[in-house]
Structure formats: structure tokens, C-alpha cells
Amino acid sequence: MAQTGRVAKTAAPSARPNADVRPLMGNEALARGAWEAGVRVAAAYPGTPSTEILEALSGYPEEDVYAQWSTNEKVSLDVAMGASFEGVRALSVMKHVGLNVAADALMSMTYIGVNGGLVIIVCDDPGIHSSQNEQDTRALARFAMVPVLEPSDAQEAPAFMRHAYEISETFDTPVIVRSTTRLSHTRSPVVLGERIEVARREFDDNPVKNVMIPSHARLRHPVLLEREAKLGKYFETSALTELEMLGRAAGVITTSISHGYVKEVLGDASVLKLAGSYPLPERKIRDFAASVERLFVVEELEPVIEDQIRAWGIKVDGKEFFPRDGEFSPEVVRAGFVKAGALPDMGIGDDVFHIEPTPRPPVLCPGCPHTSAYMVLRQAEARVAGDIGCYTLAAIEPLRAIDTCVSMGSSIANATGMAKTRGMTKTGVEQRPVVATIGDSTFLHSGLPPLIDAVYNNADITVMLLDNHIVAMTGGQDHPGTGKTLRGEQTHRVDYESVCRSVGVKWVRTVDSYDLAAMHKALREAIDFKGVAVIISDRECVIDPVKVKGIAMEVRAESCTACQSCMNVGCPSISWSDEWFDGRHKVKIDPNTCIGCTFCAQVCPSDSIQPGTGL
């Protein structure tokens, strides 16, 4: 049976790995590091690519660490701060855009400092795999004067977390540990360490430090400036700053995941691997610059390191050769060095096959309850202010029923603004009704203040609250509307109807998302209602927490007129069959993926779609 191996490989070390090494995803390694560092309280709002960190942390014993989902990132950071005030190590986790939500708290916390160590893990998304932008957290960290640490792979992550807590407590500062999608979702072997138990510090009864009123804050600002200088010096000798002197022709300053790409494509260059992008060890960088003939900075996204080095009057190459947008890869970094003349152009990576790739954009799942909301909205020809969640996928064909999507919770206030233009006859009349669509978790995250605002200002809008009983986009997390906590304990479940009524919404109706006619009727009435109307489109997500499976639908080919109306549902279970009618493909339904939601049957004008007999 044995075949000769045909994959080129280096000699494998003979020893089998010992039991303390485990393959962990970057996010799991960060969680491990937090646990090892003795974290006591952790809070987060889910967001790709950060979600798995708190999920992993909730796998550690309850007596070690209290972990919770918070309603949004600001709440999560405030909760972590509370724990820090009380003298225990605390953690808040979010994605890059979450830090915008939490920024208000962060900007004060940086003045206050910490009691128990406070670390914020922020996961950036270069390449925008699953976000609305690719902002660079390092720039925000520098703005907040909060040190930022950037591990380069999962193996380093636990050590970086331990250092982060030490730095936080030594320098009296919150610390940001920054990951990226690539690091968060790369699995590699990690050496597991022991947990250190850190004694609780006494509450620091010091209003001048803890209560940020103008007279106190004025005293704290100079402390920040001092702290920045001290941290810069600390990183000169920190174990996290690694200098590798090889050739002198090229020297590269880099950090985070970019370090791996640099080592991969320019293995003979000298490399100064920084602990993070702020504050920088000036002496170390000056010495390194002087020791090489040509200095590069290779950093993903913004020129955060490069700008600081340039400001010191050091000659350095960076963003001229390495793009400011998009995710780095060995190809991108190689191309940069080729462009800079540091590497010859070997034509590596040129296409051998010339193939037009088949477009395969992500779509709503078969039976996704969000589908119906957008089917009826499309027919109502409404102006639709969308929000963040799976349902944003309804912005593309064939549903194409979302006109705007800005940030978490924007939809309702966007709709208010749109509706307020409707009465302005002098500027030309726009008649389309205005509807905001927002998911359950997004509504609780930041949809409530704009709803109150809309009622307060008597906006004539319809809000569709798409309640699928879960945070679906990030893989199915609980939230206050599910009645379950991160650790699965039962808790109070938010009742959306009473929430809406209590803030003054006069027209509220809960409708089964699977009943297209009822959805149509509700939407028509809601639009006719003058003022804020809320439709709660109510049906659980078909994949989380339970995979829903009903009787698959079947197409009666003999009566199918190939009108393609069902294709407008955008369901991945429906595709063309080999049969034709009047020059068009008839359709078929994949019984393995169809869950029997009946949307297609409800729109079929010839009643050709019926529950199958195959099951």
C-alpha cells in the first residue's frame, strides 16, 4: 500500500510533540493567554473575526473567569473597566469597528488608567472579509495613547497576553492587543502554560484619578504624555522586541502577521520585529536604521510605524511599495520588494491556467426567515435603510432590496432622516415609503436610542425588526433577546413588543416570517400608519442554535412554466433543471438542502411547487 511521498518536505524532527502542545486557532490562543494571565472578568460583543475568543474563554472553569456577552462593545468595555476598578484582571474583546462604539469609554479610561490589568483585544479585518471597512486599530490606539501589542501568530499569542497584563499594571494603562483576521483564524501548535493566580488589588479610593471631571482630567493628561515616553523606553529592552541581524543590504521593521510574510519572501534580510506599533522604541529603531543600507517598514494598512519613523528624520521605504489597502500575503509583500528593487522579478505566481472563475457570492441560507421581509419590501418599492447582519446579503440580486447599510444601528436613524425629507415639497417630491430593517441583536446593540428618537420626533417610518432569535452572522451567539447567557444559563428574555410600546410606538405587530401574505399585509398597514410602526418578523434562524429541517419541496415539472419567479427568492436550493419551457430552464429543488420554508411555493404562479414525497 505504501506509496513514495511525492510532496517535497524537509526532514521531520523525530520527537513526537509532547502533550503540552496543542493546535489552537489564533483566537483560542488569545483566550488561552488571557486565562493563563489570570483574567477574572471578560466581556464582549460578537463580531467576526473576534467572536471565538470569548467562546473559547467560556470553556474555562467558571470559578476562574466570569465571561459574558454584552449588548454592545461599549458596554463590554465598561464592564471590564468596572472589574479593573475593583482590582482584578479584566478583558474586553471586539472587532475593529466595535472599538468605534467603545471609543468614548476608551478615551476616558486612558486618562484614568487601571487598577487590575485591563486588556482590550481588537481584531482588525484587512481585506474586509466580513466587515464594513478595514480601519486600522493601531491608528486609533495611538490616538488614544494606549499601547498596542501585535502578536505574529498563535504561538506567540499567550505570551503577548501575559505581557499585556504586566504592562497594563506596571504602566497604569489599558493595553490593546491587536489581532487580524488571518491571525485570529490561523491554527498552529501552541505551547500551553499554567494559569497564574493574581491577587485582587484593593479598590483605589482616589477620585482625582477615577472621576474624570475637567479639573481632574487636566492633571491626568500630562501623566499620559509621561507614560508614552516610559513605554517607548520599555520596548527598547522588552522580550517582545526581537532583533535578527542577517544581511546588511536590507533591514525590515515589521510587526504582527506581516513578520511571517517578510521572513517568507526575504529570508536573508535583517529584521526588527516590534512588539507593536505604538509607542515605538526610538533608540532601537535608530540603531537598526544605522546598521543597514536600506530600511523598509512592512506593515498592513496604515503607515503607523512608518510615519513615526519618518518624523524622526530617518530615511525609510514603506507605503510607496506596500499597499495601504487590502490584506497582505506573501505575493503582495514579494511584489513590494520586487518593485523596490530588493528582489528580482522571477515571474512567480503568473497564471498558468486562464479560467474565468464562477461567481459564488455568499447568499442567505435556504429557508432563511429574513428572505420574506425583503421579498415584500421589494414589492412595496420601499426605500430601505439596512443594517449590519446576515440580512445585508439581501442588498444583492436577486432580492436587491436594501438601499443603504452604514454601521450597527444606523438603519432606524437613517430612515428618520430619509422620512423627514418627504414633506419638503419645494425640493421635489419623493413618495417611496421609508422602511428600516434591523436584526434582533443589532437592535439591542444600538437600535434602541434611534427608535426612541424616531418616536420622539414623530418620524413617519416603518421599522422591520428581523427577529431570528440569535446573532446569526457570527455563528450563533446568545443575546438578551434569546434569554440565555454566554454560559447557557437562563435569564430574562427581552420582549420586543413591550419594549417598543414602552418607548411610545403605537403600531406594533409580530408576524410569522414564513407567512408571505401576512408579511405583505402587515407591511402595507405599517406603511399606511402615520408615525413609527414596528413589524417584528419572527422566526428562528435555520442553522443556529438548531439546524431546522422540514419536508423538502418538489417541482412538478409538468406544470412549471419556467417563469423563474421562484429564482427571485434567491434560494441556494433552487437551480435550473435540464428541462426547458418556452426557451427557459425549468427549475429543480435540491432535497438535501431544502428545509421546506415554502417561500418558493408561495410565489409560484402555477402552483408547481409542492411538499415532496421523498422524505
Partner 1 sequence: MIIVGVGGQGVIMVSKVLATICQMQGHQVKQSEVHGMAKRGGGVFSHVRFGEKVWSPTIPKGGADVLLALEWAEAMRWINHLRPGKGIFISDTQHIMPPFACRSRQRNADAAYTRETPHEILEQIQDGYAMDATTMARDLGNERAANTMLLGVLSTALDFPAEDWRDVISRFVPPKTVDINIKAFDHGREWAELVHENPDHAAEQLRRPEIAPALLSEAGEHDGDFVQLDINVDWCKSCDICVKMCPERCLKLDDQLKAVLHKPELCTGCRICEWLCPDLAITVHRDPANVKASA
Q: Find the shortest distance in angstroms from Cβ 356 to partner 1.
A: 7
In DSSP terms, 404 is beta-bridged to 385
570 binds partner 1 (CB under 8 A): yes
Whole-number Å distance between alpha carbons of 135 and 100: 10
Gap between the Cα atoms of 592 and 236, Å rounded: 59
360 binds partner 1 (CB under 8 A): yes
* Residues from 487 through 516 that contact partner 1 (CB under 8 A): none
133 near partner 1, judged by CB under 8 A:
no
b/e burial code for range 255-284 (CB count within 10 A of at least 16 → b) = bbbbbbbbbebbeebbbbbbbbbbbbbbeb
- Pairing label, strands 90-95, 41-44: parallel
Shortest distance (Å) from residue 578 CB to partner 1? 6
Is 361 or 423 the residue whose CB approaches partner 1 more closely?
361
Cβ proximity to partner 1: between 153 and 204 the closer is 153
Strand, coil or helix: 68: strand
| Residue selected from 254, 474, 477, 513 as contacting partner 1 according to rule CB under 8 A | 474
List 260, 389, 480, 596, residue binding partner 1 (CB under 8 A) = 260
605 binds partner 1 (CB under 8 A): yes
Does the protein bind partner 1 through residue 518 (CB under 8 A)? no
Cα dihedral angle (53, 54, 57, 63), rounded to 10 degrees?
160
First and final C-alpha spacing in the chain? 41
Q: Which of residues 187-246 bind partner 1 (CB under 8 A)?
A: 187-189
425 binds partner 1 (CB under 8 A): no
Count the site residues for partner 1 by CB under 8 A: 89
Measured from the CB atom, is 245 or 290 closer to partner 1? 245
Q: How far apart are CA 570 and CA 55, in angstroms?
A: 32
Nearer to partner 1, 90 or 97 (CB): 97
Determine if 559 is a binding residue for partner 1 (CB under 8 A). no
Q: Does 263 sit near partner 1 (CB under 8 A)? A: yes
Q: Is 129 in the site for partner 1 (CB under 8 A)?
A: yes
How far is it, in rounded angstroms, from Cα 283 to Cα 495?
58
Q: Which is nearer to partner 1, 61 or 357 (CB)?
A: 357
Using CB under 8 A as the binding rule, whether residue 298 contacts partner 1 is answered as no
- Using the rule CB under 8 A, is 580 a contact of partner 1? yes
If 0-12 CB within 10 Å is exposed, 13-18 middle and 19+ buried, where does residue 42 land? buried
Determine if 399 is a binding residue for partner 1 (CB under 8 A): no
Among 61, 344, 357, 428, binds partner 1 (CB under 8 A): 357
Nine-digit cell string for 121 = 483585544
- Of the residues 393, 463, 470, 508, which one makes contact with partner 1 according to CB under 8 A: 393
Residue 563 in the binding site for partner 1 (CB under 8 A): yes
Which of the stretches 37-45, 109-117, 457-465, 472-480 binds partner 1 when contact is defined by CB under 8 A?
472-480
β-strands 41-44, 574-581: how paired? Answer: unpaired
Q: How far is the CB of 615 from partner 1 (least distance, A)?
A: 16
Residue 289 to residue 295: CA distance in whole angstroms:
6
In terms of CB distance, is 274 or 473 closer to partner 1? 473
Which helix (H) or strand (E) segment holds residue 335: the answer is helix 330-339
In 3D space, the residue among 134, 117, 259 whose CA is nearest the CA of residue 174 turns out to be 117
Query: 21-60: which residues touch partner 1 (CB under 8 A)?
Result: 23, 48-49, 52
Cβ-contact 144, 209 below 8 angstroms: no
Q: Is 7 in the site for partner 1 (CB under 8 A)?
A: yes
Indicate whether 591 belongs to the interface with partner 1 (CB under 8 A).
no
Task: State yes or no: residue 529 binds partner 1 (CB under 8 A).
Answer: no
Give all strands of the β-sheet with 294-298 in edge-to-edge order.
242-244, 269-273, 247-254, 294-298
CB of 554 to partner 1, least distance (A): 18
Cis peptide before 545 (omega within 30 of 0): yes
Q: Closest distance between partner 1 and the C-beta of residue 354, in Å? A: 9
Secondary structure in 3-state letters for 432-461: CCEEEEEEHHHHHHHHHHHHHHHHHCCCCC
Among 273, 334, 484, 586, binds partner 1 (CB under 8 A): 334
Of the ranges 216-224, 404-412, 584-592, 594-602, which one interacts with partner 1 (CB under 8 A)? 584-592
Closest CA to 296 of 273, 326, 329, 275: 273
Q: Which residues contact 388 (CB under 8 A, 6 or more apart)?
A: 132, 405, 407, 408, 439, 442, 473
Stretch that binds partner 1, among 66-74, 158-166, 242-250, 580-588 (CB under 8 A): 580-588
Candidate list 182, 273, 284, 383; residue touching partner 1; CB under 8 A: 182
The H or E element that residue 283 is part of is: helix 282-291
Residue 170 touching partner 1 (CB under 8 A): no
Of 5, 61, 214, 222, the residue at the interface with partner 1 (CB under 8 A) is 5
Task: Look up cell 481632574; give the residue.
Answer: 216
> Is residue 103 within the footprint of partner 1 (CB under 8 A)?
no
Query: Considering only residues 368-387, where is the footprint of partner 1 by CB under 8 A?
Result: 378-379
Q: Does 449 bind partner 1 (CB under 8 A)?
A: no
Question: Residue 273, interface with partner 1 (CB under 8 A)?
Answer: no
Residues 406, 410, 415, 418: is their CA dihedral positive or negative?
A: negative
The least CB distance from residue 457 to partner 1, in Å, is: 32
Interface with partner 1, residue 18, by CB under 8 A: no
Report d(CA 438, CA 464) in Å as an integer.
6
